[in-house]
Amino acid sequence: MSHLLFINHTRQLHGSEQVMLHSMRVAQAAGHRVTVVLPSHVADEGLDAAVEAYASRVLRLPYRPIGISWWRTMLVQVYNLYALCWLVRYIRREKVDVVYSNTSVTSIGVQAARWTGRKHLWHFHEPVDKLYGWNATLKGVYRRLLGTKRNTLICISKRQLGEWEQAVGQSLPATVVYNPVREIQVKRVAHKGIRIGFLGCFETRKNISVLLCAVERISETVADVQLVLCGAKNEEEKRAIYRQTTLTESSLDVRLHTNDVAAFFGEIDILVLPSLQETMPLVVMEALQAGVCVIQTTHSGLSELLRDGEDTLFFAPEQPETLVALLRTCMDGNVRERLAANGQRRVKELDCNKRFEVAMQQLFAS
């Protein structure tokens, strides 16, 4: 069996990390030896313990993600030289066969693979967008890195692959592998009225202000509507949300980040993802799998898998009036139940986990 080296740019436990963990599970099940590399300069936020379940060894080295600008990326690559040299020696000494880099801003893996002639898998989760660290001055950097011999780009949607090929101005050695979806067992919690939920970080790209305004509008004519926002980093971030809206604390519940998504899904009637930009948001697929009605942004690749008006409802984030109209439609319990049932059925039909596992097994072995 092969020795696989997995590299991530954070020690957090969000969507892209969940996908990497599933890849590691596939590798372990196939009998491969797994080593994981994590950045030493950031604090562990849950990923360390998660990777230890699948890795024979976890390495922590001083390296940073690229992106934002050409100058910053050059400085980062200089900073990363020590870790890169250490990694090259490890790859040769421990006979690593395949290097797997998670996310588009993790460059140390493809550099190490180039220096050692190893096979490299680069799993991109991000769209081409400044909100995710993209800058047009990075075109040459990515052309060079993606052109590394024995490199395969893994994209998570056809739309995303098209965006990256357009951004770098060339076709790429790539394959599209849709994300796996965790099976979440949900126990419904009885509550008064209708609960609209959001789950994720509170970054600008998540467009939470539009959701706040939409719920304010709905609350003017519909009684017992509550918005639950889950994902704040700290108490100050929670307070900042309350200052942005006229919603009272009885109709707005802002919560800290949680990994217990099953409990959250069990409390809400509608999940809304109003993001300005997403690639293939796992939270949507997980909510659908859990039987939750979902309204989501058109700015993702999920339209490749889901049917508007049947499995879910799409709206353009630059058109907040459409979100208001869709929320009004979903005040009808029959509509919510139909969308939730169709969405859950669709996710089951797609069999994302099996397809993901087969694709990753082939990539690790070929």
Q: Is residue 185 part of a domain?
A: no
Q: Is residue 362 part of a domain?
A: no
Residue 319, domain CATH:
3.40.50.2000
Residues in the chain: 366
CA dihedral 49, 51, 54, 57 (to 10 degrees): -90
Give CA–CA dist 85/64, Å, rounded.
14
Residues 282 and 321 in one domain: yes
Answer yes or no: are the C-beta atoms of 44 and 32 closer than 8 Å: no
Residues 201 and 167 in one domain: no
Residue 58: phi and psi, rounded to 5, are -120, 120
Residues 202 and 310 in one domain: yes
Ordered per-residue pLDDT tens for the chain, 366 residues: 899 999 999 999 888 999 999 999 999 999 999 999 999 999 999 999 999 999 999 999 999 999 999 999 999 999 999 999 999 999 999 999 999 999 999 999 999 999 999 999 999 999 999 989 999 999 999 999 999 999 999 999 999 999 999 999 999 999 999 999 988 888 888 899 999 999 999 999 999 999 999 999 999 999 899 999 999 999 999 999 999 999 998 899 999 988 899 999 999 999 999 999 999 999 999 999 999 999 999 999 999 999 999 999 999 999 999 999 999 999 999 999 999 999 999 999 999 999 999 999 999 996
* Host domain of residue 207: 194-350
Residues 339 and 222 in one domain: yes
Q: What is the pLDDT of residue 15?
A: 86
Residues 124 and 225 in one domain: no
Q: Is residue 182 part of a domain?
A: no
Q: Count up the domains in the chain and report the number.
A: 2
Residues 157 and 65 in one domain: yes
Whether pTM exceeds 0.75:
yes
DSSP-derived secondary structure letter, 269? S
Residues 170 and 308 in one domain: no
Q: Is residue 184 part of a domain?
A: no
232 contact partners, CB below 8 Å, separation of at least 6: 202, 238, 241, 254, 255, 256, 257
Q: Is 179 left (phi over 0), alpha (psi -120 to 50) or beta?
A: beta
Residues 173 and 211 in one domain: no
Three-class HEC string of 133-174: CCCHHHHHHHHHHHCCCCEEEEECCHHHHHHHHHHHCCCCCE
Q: Is residue 360 part of a domain?
A: no
Neighbours of 3 (CB within 10 A): 17
Q: What is the pLDDT of residue 290?
A: 95
